[in-house]
Amino acid sequence: MTSSVDQRLSRLLVVTQIVSMLAIPVVLAVVGFSVQRSLQEQQIKRDYVSLAVSLLLPKKDGEKETSPELRSWATALLNRY
């Protein structure tokens, strides 16, 4: 009876080791993807904020003024972020 239990436990141990060896790379890939996506979203937000600030800054002599629509968009964007 104990040898039967030992065999079952040994099989269970092998199966769990195989499952864990397969699951770890998948989990790491999913976590890595989510971290990368979050970093990309932050980069895009930072770029948009930079663009909005540049549109709202006073223009130098000889430069064309920003249109009211773009200024409105830049203001709304800065209010959102």
Q: What is the pLDDT of residues 24-81, one digit of tens each?
A: 999 999 999 999 999 999 999 999 999 999 988 888 877 888 889 999 999 999 998 8
Which pLDDT score, from 0 to 100, does residue 39 have? 97
Q: What pTM value is reported for the model?
A: 0.64
Question: What is the rounded CA–CA span in Å between residue 9 and residue 74?
Answer: 64
Q: What single string gives the DSSP state of each residue in 10-76? A: HHHHHHHHHHHHHHHHHHHHHHHHHHHHHHHHHHHHHHHHHHHHHHHSPPPTTSPPPPHHHHHHHHH
Q: Evaluate whether 37 touches 29 at the Cβ level (below 8 Å).
A: no
Contacts of 77 (CB under 8 A, 6+ apart): 48, 49, 52
